[in-house]
Amino acid sequence: MEKKIKAFILHSPGDMRLEEIAMPQLSPDDALVKVKSVGVCGSDVHYYRNGRIGSFIVKDPLILGHECSGEVVSVGPDVKNVKPGDRVVMEPGIPCRKCWYCKNGRYNMCPDIVFMATPPHHGSMVEYMAWPADFLFKMPDSMSFQEGALVEPFAVGLFSTRRSGLYPSASVAILGAGPIGLSALEAVKAMGAGQVISIDVIPNRLELARQMGATHVINAKEKNAGQAVKELTNGEGAHFVFETAGSDMTIQQTVEIVRDGGTVVLLGLPPQLEIKMPIVESVIREVNFVTSFRYCNIFEEAITLMAHGKVNLKPLLTHEFAFKDTLEAFDVSEHQKDSAVKVMINI
Ligand SMILES: [Zn+2]
Ligand SMILES: [Zn+2]
């Protein structure tokens, strides 16, 4: 009889159920991974609640989850880099490997990327996954599966610092102190930033930013963020501004916060398709705009920084749930209950 495994399957907005599916089949280049920990991402919550993000619409039943780690249980005949028993982080996007973007080392732009939990591709809230072995990264023994599942959100922050051209001693302001903002915070510190100013409106998140090494925190509900950053930077503004909150207001604020000739890095995805920006002012002040989407060729670097204590993502981990309690995990994540930041599901 065919072996069955358990998965949480989203059928329509708000309707997600624990069901049985077939054990995945391995291709020669795949490893079979027993999934151990999966972080709940804002995108998972969006699909769960609204059934769509922009043009990505959940039409067929979908397994969510893309921040994950696990243990290799078997490998296809062509796999050489991992073996059964290895503890691994899974990189959730598999590009086509053939297009211009893939060949130019920018595979995050690949139009044919198969990305976990982005319709129509299933994610990792499931007991076992077959996954191309070259997108699995061995974790050191010192790293827990929960930390392993934090590599993906950290990779988003770390990749944005690579895109930014950040240099040691530069002052940095980060809009948003959610999982990505705090990941960017750890990344810019590891890259040698001087002042690191975290801006948010939620006090407990600002407290977390302070714990994680922000030199200054600003509650944008209490102070004008632009003015406050200028006061902290000799009236000039920050050399680099990272926007991770993804709201029209914070995106517009980047220009107020950055110094003349400085760099704005946009990673947050706002719900609106278009946002009004002061372009003439930005040209006259030579503001550089850099965008950053997901990541590319960076998981090994992210794991190295975590393994050697150059960054510490553990404070992000606020809640853990057993697999059977996945719906509760989504509820806590969606409503940020009990000051939740990153909610982890252990499978
Ligand atoms: Zn995510
Ligand atoms: Zn491609």
Over the stretch 100-109, which tens digit does the pLDDT of each residue have? 999 999 999 9
Share of the chain above pLDDT 70, in %: 100
What is residue 272's predicted lDDT score, i.e. its pLDDT?
86
Domain boundaries in the chain?
A: 4-138+313-346, 157-291
- If you measure from the C-alpha of residue 102 to the centroid of ligand 2, how many angstroms do you get, rounded to a whole number? 4
Burial 228-256 (b: 16+ CB within 10 A, else e): bbbebbeeebbbbbbbbbbbeebbebbbb
| Per-residue pLDDT tens over the stretch 163-188 | 999 999 999 999 999 999 999 999 99
Mean pLDDT for the chain overall = 96
Share of the chain above pLDDT 90, in %: 95
Flag whether pLDDT at 1 surpasses 80: no
Class of domain 4-138+313-346: alpha beta
Question: Which ligand gives the minimal distance to the CA of 47?
Answer: 1
Class of domain 157-291: alpha beta
User: Residue 88's closest CA among 143, 170, 6, 28?
Assistant: 143
Flag whether pLDDT at 192 surpasses 70: yes
The pLDDT confidence band at residue 315, using thresholds 50, 70 and 90, is: very high
Question: Which ligand gives the minimal distance to the CA of 149?
Answer: 1
- If you measure from the C-alpha of residue 240 to the centroid of ligand 2, how many angstroms do you get, rounded to a whole number? 31
Q: How many CA atoms lie within 13 A of 43 on its CB side?
A: 22
Q: Give the start-end residues of each E strand in the chain.
A: 4-12, 15-22, 30-40, 52-53, 56-57, 67-75, 87-90, 93-94, 114-115, 128-132, 136-138, 172-175, 196-200, 216-219, 238-243, 258-266, 288-291, 317-322, 342-346
In this structure, the number of other CB atoms found within 10 A of the CB of residue 301 comes to 17
- If you measure from the C-alpha of residue 340 to the centroid of ligand 2, how many angstroms do you get, rounded to a whole number? 36
- If you measure from the C-alpha of residue 337 to the centroid of ligand 2, how many angstroms do you get, rounded to a whole number? 39
What is residue 271's predicted lDDT score, i.e. its pLDDT?
85
What is residue 338's predicted lDDT score, i.e. its pLDDT?
86
Element (H, E) at 20: strand 15-22
| Per-residue pLDDT tens over the stretch 237-258 | 999 999 999 999 999 999 999 9
What is residue 2's predicted lDDT score, i.e. its pLDDT?
78
- If you measure from the C-alpha of residue 92 to the centroid of ligand 2, how many angstroms do you get, rounded to a whole number? 15
Element (H, E) at 286: none
- If you measure from the C-alpha of residue 156 to the centroid of ligand 1, how many angstroms do you get, rounded to a whole number? 8
User: Taking residues 100-120, what's their average pLDDT?
Assistant: 97
